[in-house]
Chain A
Amino acid sequence: MESLLPTELWRNGPQPGSLYNFPGGKIAGHNEPVKRTMYPIVTGTSVLGLKFKDGVVLAADKLGSYGSMAKFRDLTRLLKVNDQTVVGAGGDYADYQFLTEIIEQRVIEEECLNDGFGYTPSSLFSWLTRVMYNRRSNINPLWNTYVVAGWQKGEGFLGYVDKIGTAYQAPTIATGYGAYIAQPLLREALEKNPNMTAEQAAEQLDRCLKVLYYRDARSLNKYDLAIITKDGVEIRSSIVSKTNWEIAHMIKGYE
Protein backbone atom coordinates (compact mmCIF):
# COMPACT_ATOMS: atom_id res chain seq x y z
CA MET A 1 0.00 0.00 0.00
CA GLU A 2 1.22 3.48 -0.62
CA SER A 3 2.29 5.30 2.49
CA LEU A 4 0.40 8.44 3.13
CA LEU A 5 2.44 11.53 3.72
CA PRO A 6 1.96 12.51 7.31
CA THR A 7 -0.07 15.69 7.62
CA GLU A 8 2.06 16.85 10.55
CA LEU A 9 5.79 16.59 10.76
CA TRP A 10 5.61 15.99 14.50
CA ARG A 11 2.95 15.51 17.17
CA ASN A 12 2.63 16.89 20.74
CA GLY A 13 5.56 19.18 20.26
CA PRO A 14 5.89 22.95 20.09
CA GLN A 15 3.80 24.72 17.46
CA PRO A 16 5.65 27.13 15.16
CA GLY A 17 5.26 30.65 16.39
CA SER A 18 4.02 29.66 19.82
CA LEU A 19 7.20 30.16 21.77
CA TYR A 20 7.57 33.88 21.18
CA ASN A 21 4.87 36.52 21.51
CA PHE A 22 5.31 38.73 18.45
CA PRO A 23 4.33 42.33 19.22
CA GLY A 24 0.96 43.23 17.81
CA GLY A 25 0.09 39.61 17.18
CA LYS A 26 -2.29 37.38 19.13
CA ILE A 27 -0.95 36.01 22.40
CA ALA A 28 0.30 32.52 21.87
CA GLY A 29 -1.19 29.58 23.70
CA HIS A 30 -4.41 31.32 24.73
CA ASN A 31 -6.62 29.44 22.35
CA GLU A 32 -8.55 27.38 24.88
CA PRO A 33 -10.96 28.98 27.35
CA VAL A 34 -10.19 28.88 31.07
CA LYS A 35 -12.20 25.93 32.38
CA ARG A 36 -12.13 26.05 36.15
CA THR A 37 -14.74 26.99 38.68
CA MET A 38 -13.35 30.05 40.40
CA TYR A 39 -16.52 30.97 42.22
CA PRO A 40 -20.07 29.54 42.40
CA ILE A 41 -22.85 31.29 40.49
CA VAL A 42 -26.23 29.71 41.25
CA THR A 43 -25.99 28.18 44.70
CA GLY A 44 -27.95 25.93 46.99
CA THR A 45 -27.74 26.33 50.75
CA SER A 46 -27.75 23.71 53.50
CA VAL A 47 -28.54 20.01 53.19
CA LEU A 48 -29.61 18.13 56.33
CA GLY A 49 -29.40 14.40 57.02
CA LEU A 50 -30.44 12.30 60.02
CA LYS A 51 -30.16 8.58 60.69
CA PHE A 52 -33.11 7.03 62.49
CA LYS A 53 -33.92 3.53 63.71
CA ASP A 54 -34.77 1.91 60.37
CA GLY A 55 -33.25 4.26 57.81
CA VAL A 56 -32.13 7.75 56.91
CA VAL A 57 -33.90 11.02 56.11
CA LEU A 58 -32.43 13.72 53.87
CA ALA A 59 -33.77 17.20 53.21
CA ALA A 60 -32.79 20.24 51.13
CA ASP A 61 -34.75 23.38 50.33
CA LYS A 62 -35.78 24.24 46.79
CA LEU A 63 -33.88 27.49 46.38
CA GLY A 64 -31.21 28.34 43.82
CA SER A 65 -29.72 31.68 44.86
CA TYR A 66 -28.13 33.95 42.26
CA GLY A 67 -25.95 35.81 44.72
CA SER A 68 -28.41 37.58 46.96
CA MET A 69 -31.32 37.08 44.55
CA ALA A 70 -33.80 34.26 45.05
CA LYS A 71 -33.75 33.40 41.36
CA PHE A 72 -34.88 29.77 41.17
CA ARG A 73 -37.45 28.77 43.73
CA ASP A 74 -38.28 25.30 42.47
CA LEU A 75 -34.97 23.45 42.18
CA THR A 76 -34.54 19.89 43.40
CA ARG A 77 -31.26 19.45 45.17
CA LEU A 78 -31.92 15.81 45.97
CA LEU A 79 -31.06 13.10 43.45
CA LYS A 80 -32.42 9.57 43.69
CA VAL A 81 -29.57 7.39 42.44
CA ASN A 82 -31.32 4.06 42.92
CA ASP A 83 -33.68 2.38 45.38
CA GLN A 84 -30.96 2.39 48.02
CA THR A 85 -29.27 5.78 47.64
CA VAL A 86 -30.07 9.47 47.50
CA VAL A 87 -27.54 12.28 47.07
CA GLY A 88 -28.20 15.83 48.25
CA ALA A 89 -26.13 18.79 47.09
CA GLY A 90 -25.34 22.30 48.25
CA GLY A 91 -23.12 24.83 46.47
CA ASP A 92 -22.88 25.51 42.75
CA TYR A 93 -25.94 24.14 40.96
CA ALA A 94 -24.21 23.81 37.59
CA ASP A 95 -21.54 21.55 39.06
CA TYR A 96 -24.30 19.47 40.69
CA GLN A 97 -26.09 19.14 37.33
CA PHE A 98 -22.82 18.07 35.72
CA LEU A 99 -22.33 15.39 38.35
CA THR A 100 -25.98 14.30 38.14
CA GLU A 101 -25.55 13.47 34.45
CA ILE A 102 -22.39 11.50 35.18
CA ILE A 103 -24.02 9.55 38.02
CA GLU A 104 -27.14 8.78 35.99
CA GLN A 105 -25.06 7.59 33.06
CA ARG A 106 -23.03 5.35 35.35
CA VAL A 107 -26.20 3.88 36.85
CA ILE A 108 -27.40 3.04 33.34
CA GLU A 109 -24.07 1.40 32.58
CA GLU A 110 -24.37 -0.65 35.77
CA GLU A 111 -27.83 -1.76 34.64
CA CYS A 112 -26.45 -2.77 31.25
CA LEU A 113 -23.90 -5.06 32.88
CA ASN A 114 -26.90 -6.94 34.30
CA ASP A 115 -24.90 -8.68 36.99
CA GLY A 116 -27.23 -8.05 39.91
CA PHE A 117 -24.91 -5.40 41.34
CA GLY A 118 -25.78 -1.76 41.60
CA TYR A 119 -24.34 1.26 43.38
CA THR A 120 -24.48 0.93 47.15
CA PRO A 121 -24.41 4.12 49.23
CA SER A 122 -20.88 3.45 50.42
CA SER A 123 -19.56 2.64 46.94
CA LEU A 124 -21.04 5.86 45.61
CA PHE A 125 -19.63 7.71 48.60
CA SER A 126 -16.12 6.34 47.99
CA TRP A 127 -16.31 7.15 44.29
CA LEU A 128 -17.57 10.65 44.99
CA THR A 129 -14.81 11.28 47.54
CA ARG A 130 -12.18 10.25 44.99
CA VAL A 131 -13.71 12.46 42.30
CA MET A 132 -13.95 15.51 44.57
CA TYR A 133 -10.44 15.16 45.97
CA ASN A 134 -8.96 14.56 42.55
CA ARG A 135 -10.63 17.67 41.15
CA ARG A 136 -9.38 19.78 44.04
CA SER A 137 -5.87 18.43 43.56
CA ASN A 138 -6.03 19.78 40.02
CA ILE A 139 -7.20 23.16 41.29
CA ASN A 140 -10.47 22.67 39.40
CA PRO A 141 -13.03 21.76 42.07
CA LEU A 142 -16.69 20.92 41.78
CA TRP A 143 -17.92 23.68 44.06
CA ASN A 144 -20.34 21.52 45.99
CA THR A 145 -21.00 19.86 49.32
CA TYR A 146 -22.64 16.48 48.93
CA VAL A 147 -24.57 14.37 51.40
CA VAL A 148 -24.92 10.70 50.48
CA ALA A 149 -27.75 8.90 52.25
CA GLY A 150 -28.87 5.32 51.84
CA TRP A 151 -29.64 1.88 53.16
CA GLN A 152 -27.23 -1.02 52.97
CA LYS A 153 -26.58 -4.26 54.81
CA GLY A 154 -29.47 -3.77 57.20
CA GLU A 155 -28.53 -0.30 58.36
CA GLY A 156 -28.63 3.32 57.29
CA PHE A 157 -25.72 5.15 55.67
CA LEU A 158 -25.06 8.87 55.91
CA GLY A 159 -21.94 10.54 54.53
CA TYR A 160 -20.58 14.00 53.72
CA VAL A 161 -18.20 14.99 50.89
CA ASP A 162 -16.75 18.46 50.48
CA LYS A 163 -15.42 20.41 47.50
CA ILE A 164 -11.95 19.89 48.98
CA GLY A 165 -12.47 16.16 49.38
CA THR A 166 -13.15 16.06 53.13
CA ALA A 167 -15.34 13.02 53.70
CA TYR A 168 -16.84 11.51 56.78
CA GLN A 169 -19.86 9.59 58.04
CA ALA A 170 -21.93 10.55 61.04
CA PRO A 171 -25.43 9.97 62.47
CA THR A 172 -26.34 13.62 61.76
CA ILE A 173 -25.06 15.74 58.90
CA ALA A 174 -25.70 19.40 58.13
CA THR A 175 -23.90 21.42 55.46
CA GLY A 176 -23.48 25.16 55.06
CA TYR A 177 -25.32 27.26 57.62
CA GLY A 178 -27.02 24.11 58.79
CA ALA A 179 -23.74 23.13 60.47
CA TYR A 180 -24.02 26.09 62.82
CA ILE A 181 -27.78 26.27 63.25
CA ALA A 182 -29.29 22.84 62.62
CA GLN A 183 -26.48 20.51 63.78
CA PRO A 184 -26.91 21.42 67.51
CA LEU A 185 -30.66 20.79 67.21
CA LEU A 186 -30.19 17.49 65.38
CA ARG A 187 -27.57 16.24 67.83
CA GLU A 188 -29.77 17.11 70.80
CA ALA A 189 -32.77 15.39 69.20
CA LEU A 190 -30.79 12.22 68.54
CA GLU A 191 -29.42 12.21 72.08
CA LYS A 192 -32.92 12.51 73.54
CA ASN A 193 -34.42 9.87 71.23
CA PRO A 194 -31.85 7.55 69.63
CA ASN A 195 -34.51 5.27 68.17
CA MET A 196 -36.73 7.54 66.15
CA THR A 197 -39.35 6.54 63.65
CA ALA A 198 -39.35 7.91 60.11
CA GLU A 199 -42.10 10.39 60.96
CA GLN A 200 -40.27 11.66 64.04
CA ALA A 201 -37.07 12.08 62.04
CA ALA A 202 -38.95 13.95 59.31
CA GLU A 203 -40.44 16.17 62.02
CA GLN A 204 -36.97 16.94 63.40
CA LEU A 205 -35.75 17.95 59.93
CA ASP A 206 -38.83 20.13 59.49
CA ARG A 207 -38.05 21.84 62.81
CA CYS A 208 -34.46 22.49 61.72
CA LEU A 209 -35.40 23.73 58.25
CA LYS A 210 -37.90 26.11 59.88
CA VAL A 211 -35.16 27.62 62.07
CA LEU A 212 -32.90 27.81 59.00
CA TYR A 213 -35.60 29.70 57.17
CA TYR A 214 -35.70 32.17 60.09
CA ARG A 215 -31.95 32.63 60.31
CA ASP A 216 -30.31 31.82 56.95
CA ALA A 217 -30.71 34.76 54.60
CA ARG A 218 -30.28 32.49 51.55
CA SER A 219 -32.98 29.96 52.35
CA LEU A 220 -36.57 29.23 51.34
CA ASN A 221 -39.56 27.84 53.16
CA LYS A 222 -40.13 25.06 50.65
CA TYR A 223 -38.16 21.84 50.71
CA ASP A 224 -37.90 18.27 49.48
CA LEU A 225 -37.59 15.36 51.85
CA ALA A 226 -36.24 11.89 51.06
CA ILE A 227 -36.86 8.92 53.37
CA ILE A 228 -34.73 5.84 52.71
CA THR A 229 -35.56 2.56 54.39
CA LYS A 230 -35.17 -1.11 53.57
CA ASP A 231 -38.33 -0.76 51.52
CA GLY A 232 -36.80 1.82 49.18
CA VAL A 233 -36.79 5.56 48.67
CA GLU A 234 -39.74 7.86 49.30
CA ILE A 235 -39.37 11.45 48.11
CA ARG A 236 -41.82 14.08 49.39
CA SER A 237 -41.71 17.23 47.32
CA SER A 238 -42.38 20.86 48.10
CA ILE A 239 -43.11 20.70 51.82
CA VAL A 240 -43.76 24.07 53.46
CA SER A 241 -42.99 24.51 57.20
CA LYS A 242 -45.45 26.35 59.43
CA THR A 243 -43.59 29.42 60.62
CA ASN A 244 -44.51 31.25 63.81
CA TRP A 245 -44.39 35.04 63.74
CA GLU A 246 -46.17 35.61 67.07
CA ILE A 247 -43.21 37.53 68.50
CA ALA A 248 -43.57 40.13 65.77
CA HIS A 249 -46.05 41.99 67.96
CA MET A 250 -43.47 42.30 70.73
CA ILE A 251 -40.88 44.07 68.59
CA LYS A 252 -41.02 47.84 68.20
CA GLY A 253 -38.03 50.04 67.38
CA TYR A 254 -34.50 49.27 68.47
CA GLU A 255 -34.45 50.68 71.97
Chain B
Amino acid sequence: MALCGYKTSLCGMLLSVWGIVQLLFMGVLFYIESPAFIEDLPLNDHYDTPEEYVTDVHRGFKANAFNCLIGACLYIVTLGVSTWQFYMNQKTTFQV
Protein backbone atom coordinates (compact mmCIF):
# COMPACT_ATOMS: atom_id res chain seq x y z
CA MET B 1 0.00 0.00 0.00
CA ALA B 2 2.21 2.77 -1.28
CA LEU B 3 1.16 6.28 -0.39
CA CYS B 4 4.03 8.00 -2.11
CA GLY B 5 6.55 7.05 -4.71
CA TYR B 6 10.08 5.72 -4.52
CA LYS B 7 11.84 9.07 -4.73
CA THR B 8 9.59 10.80 -2.22
CA SER B 9 10.14 8.12 0.38
CA LEU B 10 13.89 8.20 -0.21
CA CYS B 11 13.94 11.98 0.26
CA GLY B 12 11.82 11.56 3.36
CA MET B 13 14.25 9.07 4.81
CA LEU B 14 17.30 11.24 4.20
CA LEU B 15 15.60 14.38 5.49
CA SER B 16 14.40 12.56 8.59
CA VAL B 17 17.82 11.20 9.44
CA TRP B 18 19.34 14.65 9.02
CA GLY B 19 16.50 16.19 11.04
CA ILE B 20 16.88 13.74 13.89
CA VAL B 21 20.64 14.21 14.13
CA GLN B 22 20.61 17.97 13.86
CA LEU B 23 17.57 18.63 16.02
CA LEU B 24 18.82 16.32 18.76
CA PHE B 25 22.15 18.11 18.70
CA MET B 26 20.47 21.51 18.76
CA GLY B 27 18.11 20.41 21.50
CA VAL B 28 20.98 19.35 23.72
CA LEU B 29 22.90 22.55 22.99
CA PHE B 30 19.88 24.70 23.82
CA TYR B 31 19.38 22.78 27.03
CA ILE B 32 22.94 23.43 28.20
CA GLU B 33 22.45 27.08 27.23
CA SER B 34 25.17 27.36 24.63
CA PRO B 35 25.81 31.04 23.94
CA ALA B 36 26.08 30.50 20.20
CA PHE B 37 22.30 30.43 20.06
CA ILE B 38 21.78 33.63 21.98
CA GLU B 39 20.34 35.36 18.94
CA ASP B 40 17.82 32.60 18.29
CA LEU B 41 15.82 33.01 21.47
CA PRO B 42 12.27 34.31 21.53
CA LEU B 43 12.83 37.55 23.46
CA ASN B 44 10.98 40.80 23.73
CA ASP B 45 12.41 44.02 22.34
CA HIS B 46 12.60 45.78 25.66
CA TYR B 47 13.06 44.72 29.26
CA ASP B 48 12.71 46.90 32.31
CA THR B 49 14.96 45.01 34.67
CA PRO B 50 17.92 42.77 33.97
CA GLU B 51 16.41 40.06 36.14
CA GLU B 52 13.43 39.82 33.78
CA TYR B 53 15.79 39.58 30.87
CA VAL B 54 17.82 36.81 32.47
CA THR B 55 14.68 34.87 33.39
CA ASP B 56 13.41 35.19 29.83
CA VAL B 57 16.74 34.01 28.47
CA HIS B 58 16.67 30.89 30.60
CA ARG B 59 13.04 30.26 29.69
CA GLY B 60 13.81 30.80 26.02
CA PHE B 61 16.64 28.29 26.07
CA LYS B 62 14.49 25.65 27.71
CA ALA B 63 11.58 26.30 25.38
CA ASN B 64 13.73 26.03 22.28
CA ALA B 65 15.37 22.90 23.63
CA PHE B 66 12.02 21.23 23.98
CA ASN B 67 10.86 22.49 20.60
CA CYS B 68 13.89 20.98 18.96
CA LEU B 69 13.42 17.70 20.77
CA ILE B 70 9.74 17.58 19.79
CA GLY B 71 10.79 18.23 16.20
CA ALA B 72 13.30 15.40 16.48
CA CYS B 73 10.58 13.07 17.73
CA LEU B 74 8.33 14.04 14.84
CA TYR B 75 11.21 13.25 12.51
CA ILE B 76 11.58 9.84 14.09
CA VAL B 77 7.95 9.21 13.16
CA THR B 78 8.60 10.52 9.65
CA LEU B 79 11.63 8.25 9.36
CA GLY B 80 9.49 5.29 10.27
CA VAL B 81 6.80 6.16 7.75
CA SER B 82 9.34 6.89 5.00
CA THR B 83 11.22 3.65 5.58
CA TRP B 84 7.98 1.70 5.48
CA GLN B 85 6.98 3.44 2.24
CA PHE B 86 10.43 2.84 0.78
CA TYR B 87 10.20 -0.89 1.38
CA MET B 88 6.62 -0.94 0.06
CA ASN B 89 7.85 0.62 -3.16
CA GLN B 90 10.76 -1.78 -3.41
CA LYS B 91 8.44 -4.76 -3.08
CA THR B 92 6.14 -3.57 -5.85
CA THR B 93 9.01 -3.01 -8.25
CA PHE B 94 10.30 -6.51 -7.64
CA GLN B 95 6.89 -7.96 -8.31
CA VAL B 96 6.70 -6.27 -11.68
Query: Do these two chains interact?
Result: no
A-to-B contact residues, CB < 8 Å: none
Q: Which B residues have a C-beta under 8 Å from some C-beta of A? A: none
